[in-house]
């Protein structure tokens, strides 16, 4: 069993035993490696963001939070490379930390596969984006909370607006925030690269369906990803 297989197997073993605690000694015996190797593997999983934790004291040991983990996926070299490159190059302003997800994938890949991934990444270039705006917008869509935007239209006129986010539209090489604009009292599309600042609020807004918001506008005919 190589290291990648062992990391998958460690997560499997902890998930199977959860919420019971599993000792390093037991894991060492099960996988036929030293306790030091098991400890190092567990630390690597923690560093990659896998929710494993150690509980000390009598009967102490390691466990994993089953609510926040999925069973390991067995990816081919091509699948892993495609996912990492697509996630790294993506500019989708979703409320997910893509870099953390990439780190988790790469943490369990073999050195050979990581070399293939590095070669693929070296052949892809992306323009920088406003990470702060993307994170705030994505979080507001997920949480259904109002947003305050500083926005410049096609003519360069700058305004500050309060909007109720509905979803995202991709097309023509750009991403758009589709939202109910309180100033215009209608659904509007705001090009993400024209939003200079986005401020989150705690105000909850009504849930609206993206296809309905797009039905009569330039996004008519667009399909959601689900």
CA distance 87 to 77: 15
* pLDDT tens-digit map of 90-107: 766 664 567 777 877 777
Question: Count of CB atoms within 10 A of residue 96's CB?
Answer: 13
CA atoms within 13 A on the CB side of 35: 7
Q: What mean pLDDT, rounded, does the chain reach?
A: 84
pLDDT digits (tens, 9 = 90+) for 161-187: 999 999 988 888 788 999 999 998 989
Q: Which carries the bigger pLDDT value, residue 46 or residue 92?
A: 46
**Which residues have CB under 8 Å from 176's CB, separation 6+?**
168, 169, 170, 189, 190, 191, 192, 219
**Quick one: average pLDDT of 84-90?**
78
Task: Give the pLDDT score at 71.
Answer: 61
| Residue 37: pLDDT over 90 | yes
**Whole-angstrom Cα distance, residue 152 to residue 183?**
15
**What pLDDT is stored for residue 131 in this prediction?**
75
Task: Tell me what pLDDT residue 203 has.
Answer: 95
pLDDT value at residue 166: 93
Model confidence at 24, pLDDT cuts 50, 70, 90, reads very high
Q: Which residue has the higher pLDDT, 14 or 131?
A: 14
The pLDDT value recorded for residue 180 is 94
pLDDT value for 18:
81
Residue 81: what pLDDT? 84
Ordered by where they begin, the domains of the chain are 3-68 (1.10.10.10), 77-121 (no CATH), 131-214 (2.30.30)
pLDDT > 70? residue 145: yes
**Mean pLDDT across 17-26:** 88
């Amino acid at each position: 069993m190589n290291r990648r297989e062992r990391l998958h197997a460690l997560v499997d073993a902890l998930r199977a035993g959860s919420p019971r605690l599993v000792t390093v000694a037991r894991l060492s015996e099960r996988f036929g490696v030293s306790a030091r190797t098991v400890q190092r593997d567990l630390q690597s999983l923690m560093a990659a963001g896998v929710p494993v934790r150690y509980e000390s004291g009598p009967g102490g040991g390691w466990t994993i939070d089953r609510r926040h983990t999925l069973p390991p996926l067995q990816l081919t070299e091509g699948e892993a490379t495609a996912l990492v490159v697509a996630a790294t190059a993506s500019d989708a302003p979703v409320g997910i930390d893509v870099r953390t997800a990439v780190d988790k994938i790469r943490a369990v890949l073999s050195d050979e596969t990581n070399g293939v991934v590095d070669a693929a990444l070296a052949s892809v270039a992306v323009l920088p984006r406003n990470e702060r705006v993307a994170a705030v917008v994505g979080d507001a869509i997920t949480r259904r909370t109002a947003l305050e935007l500083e926005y410049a239209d096609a003519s360069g006129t700058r305004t500050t607006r309060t909007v109720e986010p509905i979803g995202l539209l991709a097309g023509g090489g750009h991403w758009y925030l589709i939202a109910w604009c309180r100033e215009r009292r209608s659904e509007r599309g705001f090009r993400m690269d024209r939003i200079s600042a986005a401020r989150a609020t705690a105000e909850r807004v009504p849930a609206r369906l993206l296809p309905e918001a797009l039905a009569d506008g330039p996004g008519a005919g667009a399909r959601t990803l689900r």
